[in-house]
Copies of this chain bind each other. A is one copy, B any other.
């Protein structure tokens, strides 16, 4: 697929790949989740959440990670039949215990609780403990849209990011997603890691044997480096802003806010003690809480003003940004979510390309459970 704009240009590489339909990938993923013991409902919820990433062009977070989730289950770090429940609540809040389940299942459950709270109290805010990785944040935030609500989703993650001036890795890439409905215009859907570049972008440079731009990573002593393999050598990702002159203390603060809302409010693990995604990485020695933490929110538009007035103004807002004058040589100015929506339309129609390494990985997972891959 051709490059749509600056910030996902790494997605499209001339590498050997095979095209699959959404249905093929959904059915296969659904089957794998059932094979590890998920109920029919949980398997389809998890498959939908995972494949949403491939569909929206976030290839690093989709089926490429399926075998990783399976390995977490094999290592006993994911319970495929979790007892997911509300353990604390008020009219507009709840804490959900994810029962050590797949975040792909726990987060939609928690978002549904937030939506139900918002129906009665105007807003709903759910902090989640004892969960695992939840895929892309936008998928969960977008659940609010059909209810004429603004959706919010965040999660903490295992430590890859050094605070400004630090050589210790203390935070994950801790994303923030916000989705707002509109009237006739396509909606606003922001989903951003609070780092300059996410780990997935480093992985792509590793495959191409290329250097990172300045400002993405530092080495184990905090020095500037362009080595895309530096995380495996004690280096760290940098907070959004890259350095103090360019506001890295702001990216650090945003990642910290996500950790506080997701990990501290819920009683999950936090800071450098958030469990890792790769099952071969040992669990942190200290476990101050339970599992990984998320934070899901829903705000009913008409708890603030009539929804039709808001949507009319959002349409005006969205048109204003989409009609901005672009810099010379650049394509049109985009609103958060536009690229991903274009990917979704294109890939629903023409299929989802997977690199050979991912196809081989899925084939191995199929073999493991003696099922057919496509």
Q: Is A270 among interface residues, defined by CB-CB distance under 8 A?
A: yes
Q: Are A90 and B300 in contact (CB under 8 A)?
A: yes
| Chain B CB within 10 A, most for which of A197, A257, A261, A325 | A257
Q: Are A163 and B333 in contact (CB under 8 A)?
A: yes
Q: Are B257 and A190 in contact (CB under 8 A)?
A: yes
Q: Is A365 among interface residues, defined by CB-CB distance under 8 A?
A: no
Q: Are A246 and B196 in contact (CB under 8 A)?
A: yes
Chain B residues, Cβ within 8 Å of A331? 165
State which of B213, B256, B325 has its C-beta within 8 Å of the C-beta of A245.
B213
Chain B residues, Cβ within 8 Å of A6? 164-165, 244-245, 249
State which of B150, B215, B259, B303 has its C-beta within 8 Å of the C-beta of A246.
B215
A44–B59 Cα distance when bound, in Å, is 55
Segment of A24-32, A61-69, A91-99, A354-362 in the binding face: A91-99
A269 (CB) vs chain B CBs: closest residue: B313
Type the 1/0 row for A120-131, where 1 means its CB is closer than 8 Å to any CB of B.
111101010000
A302 (CB) vs chain B CBs: closest residue: B90
Sample of 30 A–B contacts (CB below 8 Å): A6-B244, A6-B245, A7-B249, A88-B305, A91-B91, A91-B92, A91-B122, A93-B123, A121-B121, A121-B122, A163-B324, A165-B330, A165-B333, A165-B334, A168-B325, A170-B320, A176-B254, A178-B260, A188-B256, A192-B250, A196-B246, A196-B247, A197-B247, A213-B246, A215-B246, A221-B327, A249-B336, A256-B335, A264-B310, A265-B301
Chain B residues, Cβ within 8 Å of A196? 241, 246-247
Q: Are B127 and A125 in contact (CB under 8 A)?
A: no
A288–B312 Cα distance when bound, in Å, is 11
Chain copies in complex: 2
Evaluate whether A93 and B303 lie within 8 angstroms (CB atoms) in the complex, with A166-B326, A188-B256, A330-B165 already known.
yes
* Interface members, chain A 161-211 (any B CB < 8 Å): 162-168, 170, 176, 178, 180, 188, 190, 192-197
Q: Is A82 among interface residues, defined by CB-CB distance under 8 A?
A: no
Type the 1/0 row for A337-348, where 1 means its CB is closer than 8 Å to any CB of B.
000000000000
Chain B residues, Cβ within 8 Å of A180? 260, 264
| Chain B CB within 10 A, most for which of A254, A266, A304 | A304
Q: Can you list the 3 inter-chain pairs with the closest CB atoms, starting with the nearest? A: A90-B122, A6-B244, A222-B327
